[in-house]
Amino acid sequence: MTACDTALVSRLVSLLLFLPALAQADYMDHFAQRDDVGPHKAPSLGDTRVLLIPVEVKGFPPIDRAKLERFFSPDDPNGFVRYYETASLGRYRPRVTVGPTIAYDSCPLPAAQFPTCRVARGDINSFSAGIDLLRDAVKRTDEQLDFTQFDVSGRAGTPDRWADGVMLLTNVPFGGIAFPIGYFNRGDNLAGGTNGPLMADGIRIPHVAVAGDTDVFVMVHEFGHLLGLTDLYDEAGNYAGLQLSFMGAWLYDQNIVLPDAETRYRLRWANWLQVQGRQRITLRPVETSGDVARVGIGDEYFLIENRGPGAFDKSLPVRGLAVFHVDRAVASVTSQGSFPKLGAKEGDFVNRILDCVNCDAWHPYIRLVQADGAFDLEANRRFKAEDDLFRAGSSLLNDASNSVRSKTNPSNGSNLYSGQPSGFALNDVRELADGSIEVTLDAPASGQCGEKLCAEGDGCAPVQCGEPPAKTGCTSVDGAPLLAVLLLLEQRFGRRQRR
């Protein structure tokens, strides 16, 4: 979360020790759990209705509602709705209502703590004051809007009495945060009770995405948390974090970056091919196809996709293959112990901020493998698509030393983090005229086809595993029998027509 730093989270960890234990789930675990859509995640599939609450404080640059409404409408080709529709292949279709502007003549935060109304990065005082502000803004919005219209989808694709998504955009200087108010609230829930999610017209609001300075691009990132995604940049600043991801090293500018392959895969926004054995495959531009090749199974594997400039990813000057090394077993470590598999328990998002899953440049949750092997990203040097994407002449092979990769041993192979061979190799990259890329991939020869993300639906299973089955039946590979039948029919019917 862009408004939290290590000092803030350290205080939060101490605070959480006094809070009662809740359900075994989490609101931003990158889908370590899939069954908590509603109470801990906003739906990321199907048609949804999302609310944006503009909060304007007098004395700061006023909110331009016309620009706001355009960016959050389906008509803006570079806006919020079109971004999420494009990134999801149209599988996620949010529609945003820009609510009435909630205006304050003076700063709604305590003057003694915020004399200029500017919220400093990592200010612990902003949490308690922030809850009160969120509560007041939701209450005032509820007086003018029916919140039942913002519950059209849920885990089963039907209304579930949980809001499909709520955002608050203010003109006050503030970075951004996705705030799990249902977890921290110990006051009025707006429905005659205390604690837990806010309630409006019977609809529960467990979390709110917040951005300041009327920064709509920060909001694109913060809303990703509501969909269950965790931060993929390095909060400590030792390096930028994951490139080619709107949850990672994106600078929140107008060139919105598409999701990385792991995020797309986990959200079921990908058409994924599971590689088994040696295959020559064609990966179309991911923006329009969702094509993702997966090599390996279990918690550690590689994902390959075709990235280049398009409606989004506009900052990329060239097209090539992005290769991501994923290790879902990366733990969030605190003084209380280790929480493997991204820490799926309620409250573990705090641990992931304190020791973020992409903070270790040499063994993060998701690492971009660089074609040139220079390890510029790990050294906090600039990402350069021409060198870091796999293009013609690039390859990725096993490092025969089978040693553990580290800062002191920067071996650029396809090995697992343990140093053992993965069976993955990448060769013979060739870009086609239509932007597709052909590549030869090697994977283990068997046992790769049994994994699924979920029981049924788009993105739950690979569109193909291994080589497609050989054609059988009345046609051969060269189609000769079919051609013979067509010639016979042409001869017979042709003679009849000529008579």
Cβ distance 269 to 260 under 8 Å?
A: no
427 contacts 395 by C-beta, under 8 angstroms: yes
**Residue closest to 60 by CA, chosen among 169, 172, 212:** 172
Task: Tell me how far the alpha carbon of residue 206 is from its chain's centroid.
Answer: 19
**CA 214 to each of CA 79, 83, 165, 211: distance values in angstroms, whole numbers, following the listed order:** 14, 18, 18, 7
Are 240 and 383 within 8 A, CB to CB? yes
Nearest partner of 183 among 165, 168, 205, judged by Cα:
205
Task: Name the DSSP class of 241.
Answer: B
Biggest CA-to-CA distance, the chain = 102
Neighbours of 377 (CB within 10 A): 22
pTM of the model: 0.88
CB-based contact 226:232 (threshold 8 Å): no
Q: What's the chain's Rg over C-alpha atoms?
A: 25
Each residue's pLDDT, cut to its tens digit, for the chain (499 residues) gives 544 443 443 344 333 333 333 334 688 999 988 889 999 999 999 999 999 999 999 999 999 999 999 999 999 999 999 999 999 999 999 999 999 999 999 998 888 888 888 876 655 556 677 899 999 999 999 999 999 999 999 999 999 999 999 999 999 998 889 999 999 999 999 999 999 999 999 999 999 999 999 999 999 999 999 999 999 999 888 999 999 999 999 999 999 999 999 999 999 999 999 999 999 999 999 999 999 999 999 999 999 999 999 999 999 999 999 999 999 988 654 434 444 467 777 788 877 877 789 999 999 999 999 999 999 999 999 999 999 999 999 999 999 888 888 888 888 899 999 999 999 999 999 999 999 999 999 999 999 999 999 989 999 999 999 987 766 654 444 444 444 433 444 444 444 444 4
* Contact status, residue 382 vs residue 388, Cβ threshold 8 Å: no
